[in-house]
Amino acid sequence: MPPSSATETHASVGESLQILTLGLAGEIFAVETERVHEVLDPPPITRIPNSRPFIKGLIDVRGKVITVTDLHVKFGMAPTAQTTDTRIVVIEVQIEGEPTLVGTLADRVYEVTELPLALMEDAPRIGMRWRPEFIRAIGRRDGDFIIVADIDQVFASEESVWHASHQDAAA
């Protein structure tokens, strides 16, 4: 039987995935550290009129305009108010085949850690409250589940929206 896409290499003993863990509405999510550019205290966010609820606005990061998104909305969670623990995680995603930096709000950022591939499983097809294509795998650590997001899939459904908003901004 061919291995599954999320866990195809986890049979190899000793292999692990380096991740940044972050909190969203009481759940622990993870993003691969190779995708993370930096973690910021939230600066003022400039709202974009008529943007999708998922897009919170724009920020300036050392002279570069970065779109800020809210994964709460993408995962069907209620947005939360910013606190002193709120951070913006700047990640690289593929938008229309191009690497693009995007900021995403996190209720808190926990740590950079390694998650052994042997402790990761595919997301169950039933009982999930998130779209299964948004989840690369479910990991376990210290009795907690860690939801490893498939960040490209999370943003893939927004490609046409991103393309249209970037064209509008350029006009």
User: Cα–Cα–Cα angle for 123, 101, 169, nearest 5°?
Assistant: 120
Distance CA(44)–CA(56), nearest Å, equals 11
Total structural domains within the chain: 1
- Asked, for residue 78, whether it belongs to a domain, the answer is yes
pLDDT tens string 122-158: 877 666 666 667 888 889 888 889 999 988 888 886 5
Which CATH number does the domain housing residue 122 bear? Answer: 2.40.50.180
State whether residue 102 is helix, strand or coil. Answer: strand
- Asked, for residue 12, whether it belongs to a domain, the answer is no
Distance CA(108)–CA(87), nearest Å, equals 6
H or E element, residue 76? none
pLDDT tens string 10-57: 344 469 999 999 999 989 999 999 999 999 999 999 999 999 888 999
Model pTM score: 0.79
- Asked, for residue 3, whether it belongs to a domain, the answer is no
